[in-house]
Chain A
Amino acid sequence: MKKSMFSLIALVFALNGLHAQKYFTREGKISFHSSAVVEKIEAHNTSATSVVDTETGNLEFAVLIKAFQFEKALMQEHFNENYLESDKFPKATFKGALVNKADVNFAKDGTYKAKVKGNMTLHGVTNLVETTAVFVVKSSVISTSSEFSIAVADYKIEIPSLVKDNIAKEVQVVVKADLQQLKS
Chain B
Amino acid sequence: MKKLIFQLLSICFFAPLAAAQDDLLSLLGEEEPVTEYATAAFKTDRVINLHSIESTAGRVLDVKISHRFGFVNGGFSELFGLDAASIRIGGDYGITNRLTVGIGRSSYEKTYDGFLKYKFLRQSSGAKTMPVTAAVFAGMAIKTTPWANPDRENYFSSRLYYTFQMVLGRKFSDRFSMQLSPTVVHRNLVRTKSESNDVLALGAAVRQKLTKRISINAEYIYVLPNQLADGYRNSLSIGFDIETGGHVFQLHFTNSTSMIEKGFITETVGDWANGGVHFGFNVSRVFTVKW
Whether A51 touches B8, Cβ cut-off 8 Å, given contacts A58-B20, A80-B39, is: no
Distance in angstroms from A97 CB to nearest chain B CB is 10
Distance in angstroms from A110 CB to nearest chain B CB is 23
Contact B13 A12 (CB under 8 A): yes
Whether A22 touches B24, Cβ cut-off 8 Å, given contacts A9-B12, A87-B174, A163-B245, is: yes
A side interface size, CB within 8 A: 45
Contact A162 B244 (CB under 8 A): yes
Q: What is the chain B residue whose CB lies nearest that of A67?
A: B34
The answer for the CA separation of A60 and B24 in the assembled complex, in Å, is: 6
Contact A72 B39 (CB under 8 A): no
**What string of 1s and 0s marks CB contacts (under 8 Å) between A15-38 and chain B?**
010011010101000000000000
B225 on the interface (CB 8 Å rule)? no
Whether A51 touches B9, Cβ cut-off 8 Å, given contacts A16-B16, A74-B57, A160-B213, is: no
Contact B40 A81 (CB under 8 A): yes
Contact A163 B25 (CB under 8 A): no
Q: Which residues of A contact B60 (CB under 8 A)?
A: 72-74
Contact A166 B245 (CB under 8 A): yes
Q: Which residues of B contact A88 (CB under 8 A)?
A: 174
Residue among A66, A81, A95, A184 making CB contact with B27, cutoff 8 Å: A184
Q: Which residues of A contact B31 (CB under 8 A)?
A: 49
How many interface contacts (CB-CB < 8 Å) are there between A and B?
85
The answer for the CA separation of A85 and B23 in the assembled complex, in Å, is: 25
Distance in angstroms from A36 CB to nearest chain B CB is 12
The answer for the CA separation of A151 and B121 in the assembled complex, in Å, is: 39
Distance in angstroms from A61 CB to nearest chain B CB is 8
B5 on the interface (CB 8 Å rule)? yes
**What string of 1s and 0s marks CB contacts (under 8 Å) between B159-195 and chain A?**
0000000000000001000000000000000000000
**What string of 1s and 0s marks CB contacts (under 8 Å) between B31-52 and chain A?**
1001010011000000000000
B side interface size, CB within 8 A: 32
Per DSSP, chain A at the interface is: mixed
Contact A59 B9 (CB under 8 A): no
B286 on the interface (CB 8 Å rule)? yes
Residue among B12, B28, B39 making CB contact with A81, cutoff 8 Å: B39
The answer for the CA separation of A22 and B24 in the assembled complex, in Å, is: 9
Whether A12 touches B24, Cβ cut-off 8 Å, given contacts A74-B57, A82-B213, A87-B174, is: no
The answer for the CA separation of A82 and B288 in the assembled complex, in Å, is: 20
Whether A12 touches B9, Cβ cut-off 8 Å, given contacts A74-B246, A77-B39, A163-B244, is: yes
Whether A13 touches B27, Cβ cut-off 8 Å, given contacts A80-B39, A160-B213, A163-B244, is: no
Q: Which residues of B contact A87 (CB under 8 A)?
A: 174
B58 on the interface (CB 8 Å rule)? yes
Contact A53 B24 (CB under 8 A): yes
The answer for the CA separation of A52 and B28 in the assembled complex, in Å, is: 11
Contact A24 B12 (CB under 8 A): no
Whether A74 touches B28, Cβ cut-off 8 Å, given contacts A162-B245, A163-B244, is: no
B212 on the interface (CB 8 Å rule)? yes
Contact A16 B25 (CB under 8 A): no
Contact B40 A77 (CB under 8 A): yes
Q: What is the chain A residue whose CB lies nearest that of B6?
A: A5
Q: Which of B75-117 contact A (CB under 8 A)?
A: 94, 97
Please indicate which of the listed interface residues B28, B31, B97, B286 has the most CB atoms of chain A within 10 Å of its own CB: B28
Contact B12 A12 (CB under 8 A): yes
Contact B25 A60 (CB under 8 A): yes
Residue among B8, B24, B27, B244 making CB contact with A59, cutoff 8 Å: B24
Contact A66 B9 (CB under 8 A): no
Additional A-B contact list (18), CB under 8 Å, known A81-B39, A81-B174: A8-B9, A9-B9, A12-B12, A13-B12, A19-B16, A26-B28, A49-B28, A50-B25, A51-B25, A52-B24, A58-B24, A62-B25, A66-B36, A73-B59, A73-B94, A81-B40, A87-B174, A163-B245
| Subset of 5 A-B contacts with CB under 8 Å | A62-B25, A81-B40, A95-B24, A163-B244, A182-B28
Interface residues of B (CB under 8 A from A): 5, 8-9, 12-13, 16, 20, 23-25, 27-28, 31, 34, 36, 39-40, 57-60, 94, 97, 174, 212-213, 243-246, 286, 288
